[in-house]
Amino acid sequence: MIEQFLQYLLGTLDPTARRQVETHLAEHPEAQVEFDRLQAALSPVDADAVEDHPPADLATRTVAFIASHCITERYGDRLPEWPTPSDASSGAGSRDAAAVVPGGLAAALTTSPPRLAEAAVQPNRSMPSRLARLVSWAGNDPEMSQSWWSRRNVVAGAMMILFGFGIIIPGIYYAQMQRQLHACQEQLREQYAALTGYADVHDGYFPKIQNVPPHDTARSYLTQLIQSGYWDETAPWGNSREARHSHDPSMFAYTLGYRDESGTLTGYSRTHEDASEHLPLMADRPRDAQQVAIGTKSEWVSHHGQNVLYLGGHVRACRDSRVGIAGDEIYSSERGRVEAGRHRWDTVLGWDQASP
């Protein structure tokens, strides 16, 4: 029965079994003595069964401990002169101490780090409002605010500015470069339209640069277009007509032709025999300082290469000047001179006063 007595005392029996134990105890006095002995032995268990609740201000004191440690680590010897618990107990100072900072937290802030835990756990019911006062001081302190926020604002602002410049400036530069590129290409296409109109009534030949005046220089191609009525020196602009910017012959280089097997100076025509449509007809003037001593340079060619107009009418933006047939240099002959080509595939584009 001892097992049943233990279960009865521990409350693990069902109601029917409990009634059976109680009946047995009533009928057997000697069993009651054994039951009382077991009950006395288990009395400490009943005492431990009482639920133990944590102190009501445990959370506040924990936060105070953490705050005191963080603030001490952060501000060090720059903390204000807080009233200590001893000051708080001296009459007039007690009211100020109670209004400014909790006793436990004040002690934590005025003692060495090893005593933080001991000081911070001192109970104080008004700790939440006082802790708020301390945190408010830390946030409103001018020196702390400037050193903490202004530095980060400056760094963040500088990074944003650098990032913006890194994106915006290259973007503006690229857009400006593309605008110049397309403007120059449009000028070449306008001139090609005039050149093809001229060729239609001159047996398919583009304006030829000749050995004798007045058409003995590269710029005379434009004079021939104007005289034939295929190029107007003015262009409509609103309600008036202003001089064309693109008619300036010093901005472009035009083919000087080539000499055939008999040495006769010959120009190019629109006939697309062989690979003639890939022969350069015009281009921006070259970048080399010795070659551009006279006149002005195209806005595009000065920094980025040159646009090249081919006999077939297509325009290419080229970084290199070796863009003729089989990598032919387009601004000089095979002999390295600005003269008429030595043969049909020796392209030479001259500018301004250049002659065959």
Amino acid at residue number 219: R
Q: How far apart are CA 338 and CA 122, in angstroms?
A: 99
- CB contact at 8 A, 260 and 249: no
Query: Nearest CA to 234 among 245, 224, 225, 223?
Result: 245
Average pLDDT over residues 116-136: 48
Residue 246 pLDDT: 46
Contact 315, 308 (CB under 8 A): yes
pLDDT on residue 48: 61
Per-residue pLDDT, 64: 82
What's the pLDDT score for residue 79?
54
More confident residue, 51 or 311: 311
pLDDT interval class at 146 (50, 70, 90): low
Q: Which residue has the tokens 């408010």?
A: 136
What is the average per-residue pLDDT within 281-289? 72
Give mean pLDDT, residues 139-149. Answer: 52
User: Backbone phi, then psi, for 259, in 5-degree steps?
Assistant: -105, 130
What is the DSSP code string of 53-102?
PPPTTHHHHHHHHHHHHHHHHHHGGG---PPPHHHHTSTHHHHHHHHHS-
Mean residue pLDDT across the chain:
72
Give the residue with greater pLDDT, 140 vs 14: 14
What distance in Å separates the CA atoms of residue 223 and residue 231, rounded to the nearest whole number?
9
Distance CA 336, CA 131 (A): 88
Cα–Cα distance between 272 and 126 in angstroms, integer?
100
> CA angle, corner 76, sides to 73 and 77, nearest 5?
165
Question: Between these two residues, 161 and 75, which has the higher pLDDT value?
Answer: 161
Highest mean pLDDT among 44-53, 295-304, 341-350: 341-350
- The residue that leads in pLDDT, 256 or 232, is 256
d(CA 61, CA 334): 94
**pLDDT, tens digit (0-9, with 9 covering 90-100), for 199-211:** 988 888 999 998 8
Residue 306 bridge partners (DSSP): 318
Report the C-alpha gap between 268 and 254 in whole angstroms.
11
57 Cβ partners below 8 Å, 6+ apart? 123, 124, 125, 127
pLDDT score at 288: 52
Residue type, 317: A
Question: What confidence tier does 168 reach under pLDDT thresholds 50, 70, 90?
Answer: confident
pLDDT of 223 reads 86
- 121 SS3 class: coil
User: In which band, very low, low, confident or very high, does the pLDDT at 42 lie, cut at 50, 70 and 90?
Assistant: confident
Q: Is 47's pLDDT higher than 90?
A: no
Residue 12 binned pLDDT confidence (cut-offs 50, 70, 90): confident
The fraction of the chain above a pLDDT of 70, given in percent, is 65
pLDDT band at 295 (very low <50, low <70, confident <90, very high): very low
Please give the Cα distance from 328 to 318 (Å, whole number).
13
Is 300 in contact with 294 (CB distance < 8 Å)?
no
Is residue 181 pLDDT above 70, yes or no?
yes
Nearest alpha carbon to residue 323 among 264, 253, 218 = 253
CA distance 188 to 193: 9
Q: Are 64 and 104 in contact (CB under 8 A)?
A: yes
Taking alpha carbons only, the member of 59, 62, 57, 53 closest to residue 123 is 57
pLDDT band at 356 (very low <50, low <70, confident <90, very high): confident
Q: Model-level pTM? A: 0.49
Under a CB-based contact definition with an 8 Å cutoff, are residues 251 and 284 in contact? yes
Question: Helix crossing, 58-75 with 127-140: angle to 10°?
Answer: 20
Answer yes or no: is pLDDT of 302 > 50: no
Hey, how many other C-beta atoms are within 10 angstroms of the C-beta on 246?
17
d(CA 209, CA 200): 18
Residue 330 has pLDDT above 80, yes or no: yes
